Structure 1
Amino acid sequence: MTLTTSSVSSALGPPELYGRREEIAAVEALVGRVREGRGGVVVLTAPPGLGRTALVEHARAVCGPAPSVQPTAPTLPTGLAHEGPQLVCLDDVHRWDPASRAALSADLRHVTAATPVAVLLTLAELRTGEAEFTGPTVLRLGPLDDSAAAALLDRLTEGAVDPVVGAWLTREAVGNPRLLTALVAALTHGQLTGRTPLPDPLPGGEDLLGDYALRIDELPFAARALLLLAAAAGEHEPDGAGADLALVLRAGGDPAGLAPAEAAGIVVNAGGRVHFTHTLLRRAVLRRAPLLHRRAAHLRLARACRERLPHLIQRACAADDHDARLAGSLTAAATAHQPHAERSAALARAAALTADAESRTDRLAEAAEAARLAGDPVRARALLARTGAVPAHGGVHRVRGLLALADGPADDARESLLTAAALLPPARARRALIGAAEAAWAMGDAAAYREAMTRLPACDDDPMLEAYRAGMCAVLAGRSAEGHALLRRCLDGVAGSGGMSGTSEPAGLLRAGAAALVVGEVETACEAGARALAAVRTYGPEVLLPRALEHLAYGELRAGRHTGARAHALEGLRAAHRIGQPNVAVSLHAVLALAASVEGDAESCASHAAAAAAGAGPHGLTQAATLAVWAVARTELAAGRPADAAARLAPLVAPGPRRGHFAVRMLAVPCFVEAAVQVGRSAEARHATKEFTRWTGATADLLASAQLARCRALLSPPQQAAAAYESALAHHDRLPGEFERGRTQLLYGQWLRRRRRTREARGPLRDALVSFERCGARAWADRSRAELRAAGEAVAGEPGPGPLATLTPQQQRIARHVAEGATNREVATRLSVSHRTVDHHLRNVFAALGVRSRVELSRLLAGEGGAPGVPEVPRVPGVPGGGVVSVG
């Protein structure tokens, strides 16, 4: 036990701590109080290894150099208050005997704010009902979060740790900085940098586990024996599942040992399952038990197990050398019917028992694939790292490629999967080639997609997959009619509810949904996505959950169900972060940006678009980047900034190397045409409309025909435009979806009003307002209200114009735009009037309001919060606000 007194002096540089901002602030506040001549007590409590002593050292460093004394009794020295301000540090008070702790607790009651003595003491985690030192301020330290652990690991290894090794070390350390330090110290440079496979289990941390075991060593023999059996039983259980108490008792555990273990706070018994209160307690029980005792516990459990796979895993834990027969039995028992996490654990055990290098690598690759399917990429990569350098193993390359498809550059994933396909037999190469095609699709590389799908052997055993393969190849080769006919075969098992001949397997349903979108059967795509999501939730695999939610959300966007799309995309985003699929998260951010662009939430759209752009660029995810750019451009249209929207979309829809993703660029054409026509870029709009016409003829998406009619109306000469708009609205009347209908109604009403047909304009503008309100498109509804005011109609429920009450509706709109900082030319573009008209109205506005400058006008309107219907669109990092946009 150590008691240290420090005279408070000027602060020195404290040692660097990670993830302890709040605790450091509390310690420094304690030092600050004693500097001011006031006292106080802070108690730091935590399990071993979480940094209690490091915080004490930090406090001493803040105080400066001071003598250290070893008292004859573990109590506060007398006379401290007469020696000036003092900080007393007492570390590991839990090691004191009960009488000494009681004496200290009594002494602490005399430390008041009037006493210039501060006390910082630490002790192990308080147990339930323990209240020795609960009067003072008590800080309970928790484990480091992932970012703090990563920062510590980076310092410990000077940034040289391999990312896969680092992720595994961080997981094994469970947020314990002392354990993480010990694990790093126990590994060689080659192991840390990934050049040498990691040992299993990881060495290091024995002294820390000894500290955890102190409470266990105090228990009676029956309790210790039962805890060893419970800890050993956890080896065949999923993480967090605990041990089956009935199995532990069948293996010889004494039921009388459970109560003392629970009273000591080491385990809890819930629903017949024994759970250790901390994972390091279980690890301490196993690692500190003598090898013979540990093997005996595993063998007793093996005899007591009634299921084959747990029986074999317990036998494997007891094995002391390679055992080919047991490894073969484990591999055979780890069938596809087992949960993926349990299958991975069994195959990893089988690999550890395998002497032959090739067979061992086969089993490690299968264990890694099972871990990937279980949604555990960290474990999957750690298992692959045990294989060492195996340049010609198709299974290893395949799993690496599939992991990179979810969390890495798409081109790297494609190359790994193509390499795997070349090394694997045809039946096993199929999934690798499908994955390579998925990577090429995300990249926007149609030729690479077609190459991967062409290499895929004829799938005679899977007619739906063969129809998909042949259909996609035909579409991308320009044979749309043939390709669509083939792809429709994939949809036979999706539409309807009974008598389906198609698949219920999630991956097949997701392919069917993709085929439906290519063909233009949007509702069928939504149904396929919903069925795939239900199947994943019911049967797994967990790894497909974010992707299923992404497919469904995107289909709902295409169908105009933006609220549902946002809900599913948010759920998918959470799942993607939890499972470790940042590439899917990028796509979901793009979907959320599009949903926000409909709802008129410019800030949310910009945030999600920025997140999509930040991830899409480094990983080459052109599809997500294209969707994000389109989303921001749509908010600019809602804000009345067509010049910005046209500049943003032009590279995406035009031919050339900077064009957007081949499968989605046509979807952005109607937005581009609308923006381009308003800013005088009619030639570009006509060229884009010509290509959009060809695309519309090849798709079954009925919305495309309505959008095409709207584009033609925008480009029509005045004498034909009204009929063109009426034709577009007739298309919309046959379709569900309010948002696109509202946009056509709004444009028609604007066209009528600008030709001074204000009475006729009010009808479509009212309809547009209702459409936008029904689908929650707030910014677009605001534009409709502004147009209605300009057409001379008061809008029910709107606030009055305030200082602008004396102005005409057109003058009010110009005043609000100018007050927001728009130039006269920008206002003219937004309102589709001439620059001279804006000049004329603005002079009248200044005269009517008695202001002499644009600055005075802005100040006058500042209380209104800006013009309704013209929200500012935040700039998006990585998605430029005009000019050239490259997403390729």
Structure 2
Amino acid sequence: AAAVRGRAEWVRGVTELRDGPVGDAHQSLLLAASLLAADAPADAAAAALAAADAAWAAGDLSACLATLAPGPPHRTENPAPGSDGPADARSAAAHSAAVVHDHRVGMRALLEGRLDRAGAPLGQVVERGRTEGRPETLLRSAAAALLLGDVDAARRGGARALAAARQLGSDTLVPQALEYLAYAELRAGRHPQARTHAEEGLRTALRTGQRNTAAHHRAVLALAASIEEEPDVVARHVTAALDTARRHGLAQAATLAQWAAARADLGRGRPFDAADRLGLLVLPGPGRGHFAVWRLAVPCFVEAAVLAERHEDAREVLTDFADWAAFGADPQAAAQLARCHALLAPAEHADALYRRALDRHDEAGGDFERARTALLYGKWLRRRRRPREARGRLGTALAGFERCGAGVWAAQARGELRALGAAPQGTGTGAPARLGLLTPQQLRIARHVAEGATNREVALALGVSTRTVDYHLRKVFAALGVRSRLELARTVGEAEQAREVRGAGEARRAGSYEKTGAQH
């Protein structure tokens, strides 16, 4: 009877974790673990780990650590008397129990700051994701990889979990797999890919009644949109994410959404607003953001605080952030730390710190963060009256922002280049140059519309909402100076024709050079 009640509480807790107050989910799952402990210890361990997931979502560090406290060694239940338990079933159960045990041990060590003890068990969970085919195990593998900062392994685990969930027809697990994929892409600085996964994840989460999962996807969408020229999209996703987060106690989703709103402020030249928002998240105090997320927002806060003349506040959070960078769980943190120190350093030290940050970015990868450092370095060089060096750094920043679709930050780089008297690429008056003013997403929409597609058809083709297409199309019209779809089609056509002519000319020149070389 206890086991039956335990499994009922387990189902209730998992359901609440996806679509209800996560504090209630935590209690239901703890009760399930206690009821299952005698007859089904492996299931009890799995329920306890799910309870830790609920405490994590709530941002309750003490409850998370208590739930992850060491328990008895994991074991697999023996088959019922008189039954011949299949070998593959026993093997699968043993694998599941080992994954749960290793994840629990590694997660607790990580939260205690013991990376030396966390790496091995979490690494085992990641490794099992290379051979396992069940979506639950693959989701644990992706989650463990994110904890370790191995974004490539997280992407692989998330992609395999998504494929497995789809193959099994498990609609409830698809949004979660997409959530891990979206987070991994964000951590890697690949915002367009994160947005694609989160858009699909949001649709499937809402369709399957998982409002908490939907809130996480909205937070990712807000972060992705915060680097683009879409303030209304950021605001819409932030508002929706916070609405669910506040009612259901989702501290993690709330912190991500608030960070997105602040980053949008910073990108649009509102550092005082950004510093006010981010200060609540990252400065010590009862209102500090989620224990596993707030450090990710520190580089944004330092930049905003320096611009807002809040240097002491910026310095206050850097000690914690230095520990986080040394921890090694965030591939971007070392470069971001050097950038933060450069922002606060006297002139004689800042140059070397910016260069060190760029070197670290080269090791970590990620176009967006490297471009942000190059932009700040270029601004610093311009203020120091070193225009030639500034032009190089700002040009690199502009190219990086354009490559990852960071339209609002690209506009900053263009403004700095114009202040230097250097015309950014694509600011000429011809059609090809004018198309160079568009972000990658805007250019895709412009080409679809030029081919005669309606806004709804464009939205379906690109997997976005018609509202997003409407917003981008208004930006396209303004940037190109056109007032109708017909003018837009003509402008795009002229640009494509000019590109073909230029390509043919380059091919002829290349052929001429080859012929000349052969003659010599």
* TM-score over 0.5 (shorter chain): yes
Alignment of 1:205-224 (within 5 A): none
Alignment of 1:424-503 (within 5 A): 424=36, 425=39, 426-454=41-69, 457-460=72-75, 461=94, 462-494=97-129, 500=130, 502-503=131-132
Q: From 798, 807, 820, give the equivalent of 2:427.
A: 798
Alpha-carbon distance in structure 1 between the residues aligned to 2:71 and 2:204: 31
Seen in structure 2, the aligned counterparts of structure 1 residues 572 and 620 have a Cα distance that, compared at 3 Å, is: same
What corresponds to 1:513 in structure 2? 142
CA contact (8 A) 1:600 1:638 kept: no
Q: From 606, 620, 625, give the equivalent of 2:254.
A: 625
Alignment of 1:60-459 (within 5 A): 362=4, 393-424=5-36, 425=39, 426-454=41-69, 457-459=72-74
Deviations 1:348-375 (A, max 9, x none): xxxxxxxxxx79x95xxxxxxxxxxxxx
- Offset at 1:773? 0.6
Q: Runs ≥4 in structure 1, deviation > 6 angstroms?
A: none
CA contact (8 A) 2:46 2:100 kept: no
CA contact (8 A) 1:749 1:764 kept: yes
Alpha-carbon distance in structure 1 between the residues aligned to 2:207 and 2:164: 20
Say whether residues 1:608 and 2:237 are aligned partners.
Answer: yes
Higher strand share: 1
Q: From 390, 404, 415, give the equivalent of 1:775.
A: 404
CA contact (8 A) 2:6 2:32 kept: yes
Deviations 1:119-156 (A, max 9, x none): xxxxxxxxxxxxxxxxxxxxxxxxxxxxxxxxxxxxxx
What corresponds to 2:414 in structure 1? 785
Say whether residues 1:752 and 2:387 are aligned partners.
Answer: no
What corresponds to 1:381 in structure 2? none
What corresponds to 2:172 in structure 1? 543
Q: From 246, 265, 274, give the equivalent of 1:636.
A: 265
**Letter of the structure 1 residue corresponding to residue 8 of structure 2:** V
Alpha-carbon distance in structure 1 between the residues aligned to 2:353 and 2:162: 41
- Offset at 1:590? 0.3
CA contact (8 A) 2:182 2:193 kept: yes
- Offset at 1:730? 1.2
Say whether residues 1:764 and 2:376 are aligned partners.
Answer: no
CA contact (8 A) 2:65 2:108 kept: yes
- Offset at 1:506? 1.3
CA contact (8 A) 2:19 2:209 kept: yes
Q: From 504, 507, 530, give the equivalent of 2:133.
A: 504
Aligned-pair Cα RMSD in Å: 2.0
**Letter of the structure 2 residue corresponding to residue 729 of structure 1:** L
Unmatched 5+ residue regions in structure 1? 1-357, 363-392, 495-499, 801-863, 867-888
Deviations 1:285-310 (A, max 9, x none): xxxxxxxxxxxxxxxxxxxxxxxxxx
Deviations 1:555-578 (A, max 9, x none): 111111211111111111111111
Deviations 1:493-519 (A, max 9, x none): 34xxxxx5x432211211121111111
CA contact (8 A) 2:45 2:100 kept: no
- Offset at 1:414? 0.8
Seen in structure 2, the aligned counterparts of structure 1 residues 492 and 428 have a Cα distance that, compared at 3 Å, is: closer
- Offset at 1:540? 4.3
CA contact (8 A) 2:171 2:204 kept: no
**Letter of the structure 2 residue corresponding to residue 432 of structure 1:** A
Alpha-carbon distance in structure 2 between the residues aligned to 1:553 and 1:769: 25
What corresponds to 2:314 in structure 1? 685
- Offset at 1:747? 0.2
- Offset at 1:665? 1.0
- Offset at 1:530? 0.8
Unmatched 5+ residue regions in structure 2? 76-93, 430-476, 480-520
Task: Give the count of matched residue pairs.
Answer: 409
Alpha-carbon distance in structure 1 between the residues aligned to 2:62 and 2:132: 28
- Offset at 1:798? 2.8
Alignment of 1:726-741 (within 5 A): 726-741=355-370
Q: Which has the higher contact order (CA 8 A, sep 6+)?
A: 2
Seen in structure 2, the aligned counterparts of structure 1 residues 420 and 700 have a Cα distance that, compared at 3 Å, is: closer
CA contact (8 A) 1:759 1:791 kept: no
CA contact (8 A) 1:758 1:792 kept: no
What corresponds to 1:552 in structure 2? 181
